[in-house]
Structure 1
Amino acid sequence: MTPHTHDVVPRSGWVAPSGKPPLASRMMRATWRGLPAKQHDVGWEPGLVVPAADGSPLRTDHYFPRTKGDFPTLLVRSPYGRGVPWSPLYGILFAEQGFHVVLQSCRGTGGSGGRFDLWRNEAADGQAAVSWLREQPWFTGTLGTIGPSYLGYVQWALALDPPPELKAMVVQVGLDDPHALFYEGGALLLENALAVGAGMTYQHRGLMPFVRSTLRLQRRLREITGARPLRGAYESALGEVPWLDEVMTHPDADDPYWHGASMAAAAEQAAVPTSVITGWHDVLADQNLRQFARLRRAGGESSLLVGPWTHTSALQQGWPEVFSESLAWLRAHLCGDRTGLRPTPVRVHVGGEDVWRDLDDWPPAPATTAWFPAENGTLSRQDPVESGPLASFRHDPADPAPSVGGPLLSRSAGPRDNSAREAREDVLTFTGPPLTEPVDILGPVSARLRISTDTGHADVFARLCDVDPENRSTNLCDGLVRLRTTGQAPSEVTVAMKATAHRFAAGHRIRLQVSAGAHPRYARNPGTGEPSAEATRFLPVHLTLHSGSALMLPQETP
């Protein structure tokens, strides 16, 4: 199709403005490769004012195809500003493909009025945005939503009570439960909480303020995460962030502070066809897989794409796949063109094999296979006959085992060599023999551990690694549980280690890694029973792993 460059005059009589998208956005757009060819030139209508539910002015930009005709609309609501990268990623790219794109700054961000809140306003403000759309002469009544991270949260908030115009959603590495973003197994996800604090506070102010805050945080990360007490230490890098202080001092999901935060109920309806996109090393992968499971139970049309990505690389290295998947879903449900849809609802990337696999559902429910740690540091399919302690170690909160890779909001996220971490005396490893044939695992991984402590307060971190013939140990998935033991008898705890799809090649070995934490990914357990954010005193703890423990793998049979 040859794009038209003149002003658009659709049947409504609306005359499109002549503005072009901002230069920085057009420059970034020019750098992308591997994307579908554009179908339309793009116009830009910046700085519109849309009233929020309480009347606060929400700054809004409108991108549109400069071609005669009617086009569906995408609503993108963001607390991170409306410039780079959101303008080219959503405004330009999707307008090029034949969509009106409305990019709006949430309350208290990006020039919008009112006060930003992590969750209390998004449902009402989303409905207010739709009410405004109904009054626009170019709005056809066909609406979709799209976006990553918090831009996914605002989609779920709108879907709690979906307006009749909402025909499709694309949730890319998207949030639905703020508490689960900040806490796992009872422990504060410290490094990610600080990164979210920087993003929410500075990104909407522009690129340079955000970059400067991120660099300050990186320079002072050791000082901040090692502070006693932890509460308030972030102010040296981020300034006062009242909501972050509240998050750090309300660890319990049942606390009234978190009432109304979760949007999980939105996926329990079958009202809006929804595409869920995530990565195996994304900080929100667990939430995304639960979203898809709820959508499937509700019986609505849904799809799942899981790539070899982190939270940020899904929108960078993974963008060609993510964009194509998103575009196909929106065309199917907003334009009636289903030719780009996959034949199966699920597509996952299988690590180790480096292939994509199409599935009818997730998880595919292979048989769960137990691998048992033994006293000599081995991992075997045979349940040890002997009972008793397998190994012990001393954990000192003042010198914690460091975090290496995994689901982080930093450049160090994803698969990493764990050899240095595993060389520490406070990290246990149990390793299987070299495999004589490949082993495929697809689904959730867990560790059933029998643990005793001498103080009663400890965290247990379990990680699955792939050890290659050169003895490089690479993390696949992991999890942590904060436990309280009584007496010297072992307590049984199940550590949910998230899900993965991976092939252990012949000659590789399966490894279970066990420690008492991964700092600064998780806030340190002080060992005293005090809240992590308030503790000023640390108490070392001895942990003992007992026989009867097992690594549970969703192992496919040949």
Structure 2
Amino acid sequence: MTRASRLAAEAIRRRWGLPPATTQVSALRDVDVPMRDGAVLKADVYLPDTGQQHPTVLLRSPYRRSGAFAALFALPYARRGYAVVLQSVRGTFGSEGEFTPVVNEARDGQDTVTWLRDQTWFDGRLATLGPSYLGYTQWALALDPPPELQAMVVHIGPHDLAAAGLLDGAFQLQNVATWTELVAHQELLGPVRGATRMFTAERRLSPHLHELPVSGLPERLGGNPVPWFDEWLEHVELSDPYWERYRATDAVHSSTVPTLLVSGWQDWFVEQTLYQYAALRDRGVDVALTMGPWTHLGIDPKVTTGESLAWLATHLPVDGGAPPRERADRVRIYVTGVEKWRWLPDWPPAERTDRTWFLAPGGCLADEPEPDGGTTNFRYDPMNPTPSVGGRVLSFRAGRRDNRRLELRDDVRTFTTAPLEEPVELLGGARITLCLASDNPYADVFLRLCDVDNRGRSINVTDRLVRLDPADGETATTGERRIEATLPDTAHRFLAGHRIRLQVSGGAHPRYARNLGTGEPPGHATRGVPTNHVIGHSAASPSAITLPVC
């Protein structure tokens, strides 16, 4: 390491509160890692300067190995006694072959471990680590975990790419397009221009995301070929066998590797992280969960690096390294609203009670349903789609945002409590019953829970889109269907004096590709048909929201 690198590493250590470094580090660049089919993948190897064998941390990534990535995911671990292998997956940054998202990661991960066994610096103990796509590569290896694998550290990582791309049954247009454009251009630009491009992605992509048809978007954006985008648009049913090669779900149900899961309440993959936790916990696997307030692009390395080092120190200890730092409990969550961390024995907590509010006339949420509460109407026009604001998107404007401008639109309806006399703390998933009649079988409903503060700001807490099933028609007597939806889990305290708000609309574009109302394949459709919705809120049509509270 250069003197500048050492000074930077020490500054990071102090800022993040990490244990002191125990060694200097040497880096081996562009190391060849052979695969069984003859392809050679490239890796950078960071070795502690001890002259001994080391427990090893493996990160398999489609992104640039050097620079900020190495500073975040190699040096903090290598300087504390771990050999760190940063490998570029097939078809990226010098690794041979063609990059097809996730489909080669199980096989190539196994071949990488085969290579690792022959390295003189490897002591036979392995951990995997990394965020996002690097989380998937970990689950892919865990489909058939090698005996050397003794720990996993998965940050904001999915195990099912199909469920991520078709979240809530609708194509995740903004997220998939943003990630696809990143991959298409990342090797054409240097690190500085690449980072700048990510910061400006939402502004640059916005006009293109509103064009129809959606198919052909990558060609309009330029860059290296990314054929999977249009291909995915041809397969918009999660039950399609096409998606099996994009899943590592079996690993979640079979792995016994001790696993630390880290995510954020506003992350794209939050539901997959919580699914992973529950599946591992229920089988008695050593698993821990940390849930911060973060978005996908806003995860805090000050928290995640310290927790990751502590997990490795427990399950992959280094001779002469810092002693393991015991977790206070299995689950650590950040409660928004009060902005405080809390330890829990499990998630969701067992001791909760339900509190229900009923939709009522005048945009109210009431303690009891109105006997003759009537209805509330709104119209969704796919050619002027309701826009998305904040939430679980790949954007630096993701997460909790002020929704007041959105709620002024005539295609958005809100239902709000009176000011709360005492705090209400939501721990888990809000459940919504919506009695809805629609004049178009091809329609969506977007449901969002908001916290209205003393200044009148309406801040989103959690949300979900519901795609109506054309085969599930309205009842013959009322013309209504009853929608039951559970919003993604969260931890949030509504303070005294604040108000709880349910927001209802017909979509959130471009986060979710707009439902054009025709039933045509979304990739090629260009024609839109509006939908008129009628929300019932009476004793006969008791639309309601229920919060599990502590």
Please state which band the TM-score falls in when normalised by the shorter chain: over 0.9
> Which residue in the other structure is 1:227 paired with?
211
Aligned 8 A contact 1:229 1:534 in 2 = yes
> Which residue in the other structure is 1:526 paired with?
516
Amino acid corresponding to residue 169 of structure 2 in structure 1? G
> Which residue in the other structure is 1:311 paired with?
296
Aligned 8 A contact 1:270 1:298 in 2 = no
Give runs of ≥4 in structure 1 deviating > 6 Å: 25-28
Which of residues 238, 259, 263 is equivalent to 1:253?
Answer: 238
> Does the C-alpha gap of structure 1 residues 179 and 265 become closer, same or farther in structure 2, counting only changes over 3 Å?
same
> Which residue in the other structure is 1:13 paired with?
none
Instruction: Establish whether residue 554 from structure 1 lines up as the match of residue 548 from structure 2.
Output: yes
How far apart, CA to CA, are the structure 1 residues paired with 2:203 and 2:455?
34
Number of paired residues? 532
Instruction: Please give the secondary structure, in 2, of the residue aligned with 1:50.
Output: strand
Post-superposition offset of 1:22? 12
| Higher mean C-alpha displacement, 445-454 vs 324-333 | 445-454
Instruction: Please give the secondary structure, in 2, of the residue aligned with 1:72.
Output: strand
| Mapping for residues 29-68 of structure 1, pairs under 5 Å | 29=9, 32=12, 33-36=15-18, 37-68=20-51
Aligned 8 A contact 1:480 1:495 in 2 = no
Structure 1: 5+ residue stretches without partners: 1-19
Percent of residue pairs identical: 44
> Which residue in the other structure is 1:243 paired with?
228
> CA offsets, 1:418-469, max 9 Å, x none?
0000111110100001111111110122322111111222110000000011
> Which residue in the other structure is 1:5 paired with?
none
Instruction: Establish whether residue 83 from structure 1 lines up as the match of residue 66 from structure 2.
Output: yes
Which of residues 105, 121, 124 is equivalent to 1:122?
Answer: 105
Post-superposition offset of 1:480? 0.2
Post-superposition offset of 1:207? 1.9
Query: What RMSD, in angstroms, separates the aligned Cα atoms of the two structures?
Result: 2.0
> Which residue in the other structure is 2:150 paired with?
167
Amino acid corresponding to residue 299 of structure 1 in structure 2? G
Instruction: Establish whether residue 275 from structure 1 lines up as the match of residue 272 from structure 2.
Output: no
Which of residues 464, 482, 496 is equivalent to 1:492?
Answer: 482
> Which residue in the other structure is 2:428 paired with?
443
Aligned 8 A contact 2:16 2:306 in 1 = no
Post-superposition offset of 1:263? 1.1
Amino acid corresponding to residue 535 of structure 2 in structure 1? L
Amino acid corresponding to residue 407 of structure 1 in structure 2? R
> CA offsets, 1:453-488, max 9 Å, x none?
112221100000000111111001000011135357
Instruction: Please give the secondary structure, in 2, of the residue aligned with 1:234.
Output: helix
> Which residue in the other structure is 1:321 paired with?
303
> Which residue in the other structure is 1:541 paired with?
531
Amino acid corresponding to residue 253 of structure 2 in structure 1? E
Indicate the structure whose relative CO is greater, using CA pairs within 8 Å and at least 6 residues apart.
2
Instruction: Please give the secondary structure, in 1, of the residue aligned with 2:181.
Output: helix
How far apart, CA to CA, are the structure 1 residues paired with 2:484 and 2:35?
45
| Mapping for residues 388-427 of structure 1, pairs under 5 Å | 389-427=374-412
Aligned 8 A contact 2:145 2:255 in 1 = no
Which of residues 345, 357, 360 is equivalent to 1:374?
Answer: 360
| Higher mean C-alpha displacement, 300-309 vs 239-248 | 239-248
Post-superposition offset of 1:233? 2.6
> CA offsets, 1:491-511, max 9 Å, x none?
112233211101111100100
Instruction: Establish whether residue 300 from structure 1 lines up as the match of residue 282 from structure 2.
Output: no
Aligned 8 A contact 1:452 1:489 in 2 = yes
Post-superposition offset of 1:96? 0.8
Aligned 8 A contact 2:450 2:503 in 1 = yes
How far apart, CA to CA, are the structure 2 residues paired with 1:352 and 1:250?
39
> Does the C-alpha gap of structure 1 residues 113 and 417 become closer, same or farther in structure 2, counting only changes over 3 Å?
same
Post-superposition offset of 1:209? 5.8
> Does the C-alpha gap of structure 1 residues 248 and 210 become closer, same or farther in structure 2, counting only changes over 3 Å?
farther
Instruction: Please give the secondary structure, in 2, of the residue aligned with 1:229.
Output: coil
Structure 2: 5+ residue stretches without partners: none
Post-superposition offset of 1:381? 2.5
Q: TM-score, normalised by structure 2?
A: 0.93
Amino acid corresponding to residue 543 of structure 2 in structure 1? S
How far apart, CA to CA, are the structure 1 residues paired with 2:73 and 2:235?
35
Instruction: Establish whether residue 467 from structure 1 lines up as the match of residue 452 from structure 2.
Output: yes
Post-superposition offset of 1:26? 6.6
How far apart, CA to CA, are the structure 2 residues paired with 1:307 and 1:417?
20
How far apart, CA to CA, are the structure 1 residues paired with 2:3 and 2:387?
42
> Does the C-alpha gap of structure 1 residues 252 and 29 become closer, same or farther in structure 2, counting only changes over 3 Å?
farther
> Does the C-alpha gap of structure 1 residues 72 and 534 become closer, same or farther in structure 2, counting only changes over 3 Å?
same
How far apart, CA to CA, are the structure 2 residues paired with 1:252 and 1:135?
43
Instruction: Establish whether residue 359 from structure 1 lines up as the match of residue 353 from structure 2.
Output: no
Post-superposition offset of 1:226? 1.6
> CA offsets, 1:387-444, max 9 Å, x none?
6x42001111111111111111111101100000011111010000111111111012
> Does the C-alpha gap of structure 1 residues 21 and 292 become closer, same or farther in structure 2, counting only changes over 3 Å?
farther
> Which residue in the other structure is 1:106 paired with?
89
Instruction: Establish whether residue 284 from structure 1 lines up as the match of residue 284 from structure 2.
Output: no
Aligned 8 A contact 1:480 1:496 in 2 = no
> Does the C-alpha gap of structure 1 residues 323 and 86 become closer, same or farther in structure 2, counting only changes over 3 Å?
same
How far apart, CA to CA, are the structure 2 residues paired with 1:71 and 1:367?
49
Instruction: Please give the secondary structure, in 2, of the residue aligned with 1:519.
Output: coil
